[in-house]
Amino acid sequence: MALINSDMPTPPNSSQTLVIEAGRAERHYWRDLWRYRELFYFLAWRDLLVRYKQTTIGVAWAVIRPFLTMVVLTFVFHNLAKLPSDDGPYPVLVFAAMLPWFFFSGSLTECSNSLVVNANLISKVYFPRLIVPTSTVIVTLVDFFISGTILAGLCVWYHFAPTWRILLLPAWVLLAFGASMGAGLWFGALNVKYRDFRYIVPFIVQFGIYLSPVGYKSTLVPEQYRLVYSLNPVVGVIDGFRWAILNEQTPLYWQSSAISAVVVGILIYTGIAYFRKTERYFADVI
Amino acid sequence: MSTPVIQIENLGKRYLLGAVKQRARQHGYVALRDVISEQIKGWVSRKKKETVSRDEFWALDDISLTINQGDRIGIIGRNGAGKSTLLKILSRITEPTRGRITISGRVASLLEVGTGFHPELTGRENIYLNGAILGMTRAEIRRRFDEIVAFSEVEKFLDTPVKRYSSGMYVRLAFAVAAHLEPEILIVDEVLAVGDAEFQKKCLGKMQEVSHGGRTVLFVSHNMGAVTNLCSRGVVLKKGRMDFDGSAVHAVEHYLALGIAQAQSGASLPPHVLYQKDSEEPEQPYFIERVETYDAQGKAKPLVTTGDTCVFRITFEAEAAVENAGAVVMQFTSYDGAKVLMLSTTPDSGFPCAIRKGTNTVECVIEKMPFSGGEWILGVGIWLGSECACWNTDLCKLQIEPWDVYGSGFALTANRSLITTAHHWRRP
């Protein structure tokens, strides 16, 4: 049976006709993406399964890493640099920013490598290539939710209750997802052709944590630079997270959020466009 | 039935081999640095256009082919003839530069066994993962799961990570998943080159089943026996162009004669030359230039007969000298794919084969030709230590004239026995 099912004759034109042509914009692209939707799940599932195999404490790493970073950042910015925390406990302040930051930087790093890591898949099987970076971001999103439990723990520890604004958090998660996706698509596609991005991305991540308001509040940035500062899409995301989680007295600096949203929109749009333009020759250059 | 399922029209695929690409071939990728420096060079010298046209390489050129439902097509050709590129375009892995393909029906392509297998995952997990990668849905995999496991014969190790599998188990499991796809068109590239003989037979049987079920099969192989057994139609590719399209048997004939036919178009070759490299064919760092047959006295030997003494003179080119580790290998294969005899300078014969830079010649003397009358496939390869520098398992055809070696009145042919050996009978 298997390969054939002799009792099930196949009419020759049972499926749709496929036309392959040079430079043909894939008409069925989005439909194909939907047809291969299970592959999203399987690739993400594989990465999750593999991630913590042969580690003794397994998933605990997803919690320990951000927790220790939070301790260090709190110590440096709060205890040494004496930055104030008027809206809530400093660890909560830091952690509210670290959640989206780790999500973004993790996605960026993994995404930019994702296509190269899956080179053998790409050069041997057809599927919409967009699945690879997307499922990578989904994996990082799972980590994001796991480390989210620390935040809950911190709130309990400090007897700190968020307000109704926490209900708007999903919107900011969506923005973070968009920022990760857009940047990830760009760097993933670029990395296929120019492996220089293997070195550029860690560099960006290293500096990014200081160029984004992770250890400090964005209100520390002088007013006249604030708009330029907000061009970094993570700034709007982090501000949003803090606004939703902490009881900040200062209202949301909406200009920054708006700029971030626009930047994220542009990133995603151009990211998908660039990705689709380049994915045709992935198999030739990877 | 002759409903066309695949129509290929004027298909072409070009690769650019600029300076940047050459470096890319060395390192496997392009560095931004090179792109920038090329760009600057381009501005300075203003000769960009010239460079582009010079470094083109057409891996496929002007291929037109109509494949009907139920066709079993064997695609054969030397390494670099464009076989794999053709399959990659048909499988939508890469895009053509020119031309158009119309496909009706669900395509499954198997360019490699075990694509996407993850060593850390268990057999069970890999079945699901690999199935999904090959385009099966979860429900489909679940339905076929038991069959897949039964076919692969690895029930006991289903929950062991595949990194602990033996290579045989690994291949069996991988092929089992692929074999349970239900495509209307199956594209297979050299998958049968792996695994042990018994499993290969099983795979071949599976593919035969598929094709007899009225599905269309495209099959690339260097195993001429598999092609003639499995395929009804054969296509020979040569340097990216269609060279022959006809019955599988004729295609194999045509292909094995390529070495001589090509050279003959220029100047006629003496009949003792079994193979002569085509001067237009791109030169590899190491390649076989010519294979000739001589008799014991060193005279050209156009006819090789069972029981004869025959000297195979192999001429090859090397880009660099290799002091100790060089080896030349000859392999004789029957038309149904049985590897009957392999002879090598080292390790088999302990003949030190130092390779000089440039042209080299070695001779292999077979005192009593053991092969029965008929057609054989001769393969020749050059090894540098354990690394293969060039290996053509199907370099050329070797015609053996039947001869009544035993003086029994029966000429020795393949249907009596493939080989003969010196022997005698007696009572103890």
Instruction: Say whether pLDDT at B38 is over 70.
Output: no
Cβ distance A196 to B118 less than 8 Å, yes or no, reads no
Residue B25 has pLDDT above 60, yes or no: no
The pLDDT of residue B37 is above 80: no
Question: Given a cut of 80, is residue A269 above it in pLDDT?
Answer: yes
Cβ-nearest to A50 among B30, B121, B179: B121
H or E, element range at B40: helix B32-45
Query: What integer pLDDT is reported at residue B261 of this predicted model?
Result: 55
For residue B66, what pLDDT is reported? 92
- Split at pLDDT 50, 70, 90, the class of A266 is very high
Does residue B148 contact residue B176 with C-beta atoms inside 8 Å?
Answer: yes
What's residue A9's pLDDT? Answer: 38
pLDDT score at A3: 41
Q: Tokens 């209750």 map to which residue? A: A161
Tokens found for residue B69: 């439902």
B17 contacts chain A (CB < 8 A)? no
At A159, the pLDDT band (50, 70, 90 cuts) reads confident
Lowest mean per-residue pLDDT among A167-176, B62-71, B206-215: B206-215
Indicate yes or no: CB of B129 within 8 angstroms of CB of A9: no
Nearest to B112 among A1, A124, A281 (CB): A124
pLDDT in tens, B40-63: 666 665 544 444 445 678 889 889
The pLDDT of B224-241, averaged and rounded, is 85
B160 touches chain A (CB under 8 A): no
Average pLDDT over chain B, rounded to whole? 82
- SS3 per-residue string spanning chain A: CCCCCCCCCCCCCCCCEEEEECCCCCCCHHHHHHHCHHHHHHHHHHHHHHHCCCCCCCCHHHHHHHHHHHHHHHHHHHHHCCCCCCCCCHHHHHHHHHHHHHHHHHHHHHHHHHHHHCHHHHHHCCCCCCHHHHHHHHHHHHHHHHHHHHHHHHHHHCCCCCCHHHHHHHHHHHHHHHHHHHHHHHHHHHHHHECCHHHHHHHHHHHHHHHCCCCCCHHHCCHHHHHHHCCCHHHHHHHHHHHHHCCCCCCCCHHHHHHHHHHHHHHHHHHHHHHHHHHHHHHHHC
Asked if residue A179 lies in contact with residue A259, where contact means CB atoms within 8 angstroms, the answer is no
pLDDT of A165-180, one tens digit each? Answer: 888 899 999 999 999 9
Please tell me the distance in Å from B375's CA to the nearest CA on chain A. 34
From chain B, the residues in CB contact with A3 under 8 A are 179-182, 186, 206-207, 209-210, 213, 215
CB contact under 8 A, B214 and A122: no
Structure tokens at A22: 């040079």
Categorise residue A231: left if φ over 0, alpha if ψ from -120 to 50, beta otherwise: alpha
Residues B5 and B8: their CA atoms lie apart, in Å, by 10
Asked if the Cβ–Cβ distance from B184 to A20 is below 8 Å, we say no
Look up residue B84 and give its two tokens.
């794999």
Asked if pLDDT for residue A6 goes beyond 70, the answer is: no
Nearest to A3 among B101, B135, B179 (CB): B179
A223 alpha carbon, distance to own chain's centre:
29
- Average of pLDDT values for A151-172? 86
Does residue B340 or residue B35 have the better pLDDT?
B340
- pLDDT number for residue B203: 76
Q: Are A285 and B29 in contact (CB under 8 A)?
A: yes
Domains and their CATH numbers in chain B: 9-61 (no CATH), 64-254 (3.40.50.300), 270-401 (2.70.50.60)
Q: Which residues 72-111 in chain B show a CB within 8 A of chain A?
A: 88-107, 109, 111
Percent of chain B having pLDDT more than 90?
17
Say how many residues make up chain B. 428
Q: Is the pLDDT of residue B271 over 60?
A: yes
Nearest to B316 by CA among B348, B346, B356, B280: B356
Range among A33-37, A40-44, B335-339 rated most confident: A40-44
A130-141 burial: b if 16+ Cβ within 10 Å, else e: bbbbbbbbbbbb
Q: Which residues from chain B sit within 8 angstroms of residue A12, using beta carbons?
A: 1, 3, 5, 69, 104-105, 184
Mean pLDDT, residues A147-163: 86
Q: What is the mean pLDDT of residues B86-101?
A: 89
Whether chain A has a CB inside 8 Å of the CB on B204: the answer is no
Cβ contacts (< 8 Å) between A4 and chain B: which residues? Answer: 182, 209-210, 212-213, 215
Average pLDDT of chain A?
84
Torsion angle of the four alpha carbons A205, A210, A213, A214, in this order, in degrees rounded to the nearest 10: 70
CB contact under 8 A, A53 and B99: no
pLDDT confidence tier of residue A93, bands split at 50, 70 and 90: confident
Q: Which residues of A touch B182 (CB under 8 A)?
A: 3-5
Segment B199-216 mean pLDDT: 77
B197/A contact by beta carbon, under 8 A? no
In this prediction, residues A15-30 reach a mean pLDDT of 72
Identify the weakest region by mean pLDDT among A238-252, B45-59, B238-252: B45-59
Residue A255 backbone dihedrals phi, psi, to 5 degrees = -60, -40
| Chain A residue numbers touching B129 (CB-CB < 8 A) | 42, 45-46
Proportion of chain A above pLDDT 90, given as a percent: 27
Which of B311, B352, B310, B345 has the alpha carbon at shortest distance from B330? B345
Measured CA distances, A130 to A39, A114, A136, B29, B106 (Å): 11, 11, 10, 21, 21
CB A107 within 8 A of CB A180: yes
Nearest to B93 among A41, A283, A285 (CB): A283
* Residue B345 CB partners (closer than 8 Å, separation 6+): B326, B327, B328, B329, B351, B352, B353, B362
Asked whether A274 and A267 are in contact (CB, 8 A), the reply is no
What's the pLDDT score for residue A13?
A: 41
Decide which of B63 and B282 is more confident. Answer: B63
* Residue B425: strand, helix, or coil: coil
Report d(CA A39, CA A28) in Å as an integer.
17
Angle at B32 between CA B31 and CA B35, to 5 degrees: 100
- Highest mean pLDDT pick, A34-43, A70-79, A94-103, B20-29: A94-103
Residue B147 touches partner A, C-beta closer than 8 Å: yes
Q: In this structure, what DSSP letter does residue B11 have?
A: E
Residue B29, pLDDT score: 58
Q: Considering only CA atoms, which of B93, B135, B125, B129 is closest in space to residue B111?
A: B93
* H or E element in which residue B397 lies: strand B387-401
Please give the pLDDT value at position B259: 61
Asked whether residue B27 carries a pLDDT value surpassing 60, the answer given is no
| Angstrom distance (rounded) from CA B152 to CA B264 | 48
CA distances from A90 to A143, A245, B73, B364 (A): 23, 13, 70, 83
* B19/A contact by beta carbon, under 8 A: no
